[in-house]
Structures are given as structure tokens and as C-alpha cells.
Amino acid sequence: MKIRFVLNHKKVEIDVDPLKRLLDVVREDFDLKGVKERCGEGECGACAVLVNGKLMNSCLIPVAQVDGKEVLTIEGYKNTKKYKIIEEAFLEAGAVQCGFCTPGMVMAIEALLSQNPSPEESDVREALSGNLCRCTGYNMIVDAVLLAALKGKGLW
Ligand code: FES
Ligand code: FES
């Protein structure tokens, strides 16, 4: 079945099993390896992408579900000013260790800040509650988000 959607700001079309997971389509068919797989069950957020601006776990979505929609992965977000602010804040707060969770975290942070540019700590914790990190204990990530919100004032 032909599926057409916008991937990282470009129109794409793919002839594919409509039930193939969006995660596998972006990784295998479009070589976007920033989208990670850990649990494969919607529990960890490693595979998170934005679909029409909404945070979704791509391991749970059959690709047919994004037909006609806009999908943004970390690769399409990386060259934005907002990403740079988040990256700097992560470095400053020491919020990256192995980095496996980071792409999904960043997508969750974008989803949060685009809705709520000045979040409280509790908002951040709630927004990141679907993203698991095995390394950092979360506090440094929360600090990074609050820092990014401050440094990026006016951007979101
Ligand atoms: S791999 Fe998709 S939520 Fe864990
Ligand atoms: S930095 Fe290793 S899982 Fe988060």
C-alpha cells in the first residue's frame, strides 16, 4: 500500500505493508537511526517522535496511521535553534550519559515546551514520565529542561 506523509519537512511516499511499525519504517526505510528501540511496547519513549506535533511512541504506530500527517524525528529537529538550546542545557546540566534515551527525551521536551514554554518542575516530570532513562536519575534532565525553557524564552 502506498503511504504518503511529511517526514522531517519533506514529502515522502513509500510502498509498504501498512501494518509495519512507524519505528521500523523510519529506521529501515529512511535510515533515521536517531529513533531508538528499547522496549518495543510503548513503555520507554526511546522511539518517540512527533506526529502532527503530538508526542507518540513510534513502536506502537502502524505506518498507515501517519498517512497524510507530519512526522518529526530528532533528525528533522536537530538543525533548529530550539534543539541547540536544549542541547546546550543538557550539556550544562550534565543530563546526557549513555545518550540512548536522549532523542526521545528531546522530542518529549519539544512537545512540552511548545504547549507550555514556562513549565514548573512538576510539569516537566509529568511530561517526561513516559521516557525512561537508566543512567541519570532524571534530576539532571529536569534541570536541563528548566534551563532550556529559561535560555530559550520567546522561542517556544
Ligand atoms: S521502544 Fe517504543 S516506547 Fe519503548
Ligand atoms: S542517558 Fe542513558 S538511558 Fe538516559
CATH at 64? 3.10.20.30
At 152, give phi and psi (nearest 5°). Answer: -100, 20
Look up the CATH number of the domain holding residue 119. Answer: 1.10.150.120
Residues in the chain, pLDDT under 50: none
Residues 13 and 58 in one domain: yes
- Specify the residue for cell string 513502536: 59
Residues 9 and 55 in one domain: yes
Q: Which domain holds residue 142?
A: 81-151
Q: Is the CB of 108 under 6 A from ligand 1?
A: no
Q: Is the CB of 144 under 6 A from ligand 1?
A: no
Q: Which of 54, 15, 8, 53 is nearest to 31 (CA)?
A: 8
Q: Is the CB of 44 under 6 A from ligand 1?
A: yes
Ligand 1 center–CA 36 separation, angstroms: 8
Q: What confidence score (pLDDT) does residue 26 get?
A: 98
Residues 19 and 57 in one domain: yes
Among the candidates 26, 41, 76, a domain finishes at: 76
Question: 80-97 pLDDT, tens per residue?
Answer: 999 999 999 999 999 999
Q: Take atom 2 of ligand 2 and give the residue whose Cα is closest.
A: 98
Residues 88 and 147 in one domain: yes
Q: What confidence score (pLDDT) does residue 48 get?
A: 98
Q: Which of 6, 34, 44, 3 is nearest to 21 (CA)?
A: 3
Name the residue type at position 43.
E
Residues 128 and 69 in one domain: no
135, part of any domain? yes
Q: Is the CB of 35 under 6 A from ligand 1?
A: no
Concatenated DSSP letters of 25-49? IIIIIS--TTS--SSSSSSS-TTEE
Residues 6 and 68 in one domain: yes
Q: Is the CB of 40 under 6 A from ligand 1?
A: yes
Residues 99, 103, 107: CA angle, nearest 5 degrees: 145
Instruction: Check: CB of residue 48 under 8 Å from CB of residue 104.
Output: yes
Residues 91 and 69 in one domain: no
128, part of any domain? yes
Q: What confidence score (pLDDT) does residue 66 get?
A: 98
Q: What confidence score (pLDDT) does residue 49 get?
A: 98
Task: Using the atom order of ligand 2, give the atom closest to the CA of residue 135.
Answer: 2
Residues 44 and 108 in one domain: no
Residues 63 and 97 in one domain: no
Q: How far apart are CA 85 and CA 129, in angstroms?
A: 22
- Of the chain, the percentage scoring pLDDT greater than 90 comes to 99
